[in-house]
Amino acid sequence: MAETKYIFVTGGVSSSLGKGIIAASLAKLLQARGYKTTIQKLDPYINVDPGTLNPYEHGECYVTEDGAETDLDLGHYERFLNVNTSQANNVTTGRIYQSVIEKERRGEFLGKTVQVVPHITNEIKERVQLLGKNHEYDIVITEIGGTVGDIESLPYIEAVRQLKWELGDDNALVIHLTLVPYLSAAGELKTKPTQHSVKTLMESGIKADILVCRTEHQLSDDIRRKLALFCNVKQEAVIQSIDASTIYDVPNMMLEEGLDTVTLKKLALPDDKAPDLTQWNEFLKRHKNPKHEVTIGLIGKYVELQDSYKSILEAFIHAGAANEVKVNIESIHSEFINDTTIEKTISHLDGILVAPGFGERGIEGKIDAVRFARENNLPFLGICLGMQMAVIEFARNVLKLRNANSTEMDKATPHPVIDLMEEQKNITHMGGTMRLGSWECEIKEDSIAYEVYKNTLIKERHRHRYEYNNQYCSQLESHGMKSTGINPKTGLVEIIEIPEHPWFVGVQYHPEYKSTVANPHPLFVAFVKAAKEYSKEKKGARMAQ
């Protein structure tokens, strides 16, 4: 294809309708038809990136191979498409304004008055078309964050209006995701919120080409006709998106509704190849028909909001399907773990994952959980801060280094087994200054990590500032905590294990970011397998009593 086509996904009526899942599902269907497809997210908030946002505010911060701190929707894009995203796939208002102001400071606007139109909108248009300029993709899907009518979204909507006009009818289309609520008192679905949402979009100069309607009940033909008539779209372009038992059902649901067919028709693209979803449906079959069941404790401090650990939860779904196991996740707030609650909280589990995080809140609970797992041979996986907690716990309770800690939690600790790298010590700006993106790790052959990866050199994504302190390495190793993965350039420890324990692994990186439907992350697959074996042994021991 000579020309890249553009699809814009906007949202109306309410937030959290699932624009990211609809965008990812459509991209999956187009990819399964042979079209090279990518997705980007435009976020209206003024933060330069989500890296400094509290997970309670915006869910997890997702990290790409090239080290971009991005919106969690990029995780969905990668999990669905099995294609890496990059810095170009996520743009925020903060980044747009930062770029425009820097250009103005350099004198690039030749003294012109810098305005939202054309300078901000031009910058947005440039970012939208960045992925299409090298002709690597046939189709670029752009998801606009927020809801139509929001003040923050207005420059993006205006940029979309201009792009649609500039690119021409067959080269760009707008999909509007909206809500058709069910009023139980009246016993019927209501179309008025959707009508108002489409009207708001039209007031900005944009006509929706396709309506995707989130609903709890089936849309009748009468309702589809009514929506088509009042929203100025063809009836075939009124797509129902009913609540699904899993997000991984949505591509098949959109296929049934013909979203990909109507999209290709409107973009004047060939529709002569049925999508190949064989591998996808094989995953769904295993996911929905497990042969075993395990319960794993997710120990963190943002557990009230599921999106805070979105990639971890999805990685467990992928690993569960690979093992034909249903993984039940029990979210446990680390602040509520102590000597009196730990037995009741953890003893019934088949494994624990101590989650990433920042700051000192809930740290002692995480350390207590690690100790319980170590002393009771419970399968353990520590990610980032979770790995650091394992090092601190081992230093305190095995090496007997009293008050051993991370300098993140206690700057005056006598035993800083976790500490800042020298080059980090003088940094004052928090955003984008951590060890980010893909880094190499050399794995020792006599280790669980080597069994997992079947390789001595891997690359994994990072997002952290504090590191394992190599000054304590020989002490930790001599007492039984082995460093089995090392970064070849820096010498920093990436993986720790306790060989005497059946399955105890801590990793400084974030394996969850690389787990996809097509390629479940091997570390999660191995951890779930260990939990399954532990569960069987536990069940066997109970039956023998």
Which of the residues are catalytic? 384, 510, 512
Q: Annotate 42-74 with b (16+ C-beta within 10 A) or e (fewer).
A: bbbbebbbbbebebeebbbbbbbbebbbbbbbb
CB atoms within 10 A of CB 327: 26
Minimal CA–CA distance to 326: which of 538, 528, 537? 528
Give yes or no for a contact between 410 and 363, defined as CB atoms under 8 angstroms apart.
Answer: no
| 250-257 helix and 259-266 helix, angle to the nearest 10 degrees | 60
Query: Which residues touch 290 (CB under 8 Å, ≥6 apart)?
Result: 320, 324, 325, 326
Residues in contact with 299: Cβ distance below 8 Å, sequence separation at least 6, in sequence order: 332, 334, 337, 352, 353, 354, 355, 365, 366, 369, 386
Residue 81's closest CA among 37, 40, 42, 41?
A: 37
Query: How far is the CA of 296 from the CAs of 352, 380, 531, in angstroms?
Result: 5, 10, 8
Residue 410 token pair: 């206690």
Q: Residue 250 to residues 19, 21, 23, 36, 246: CA-CA distances in angstroms?
A: 12, 8, 10, 20, 8
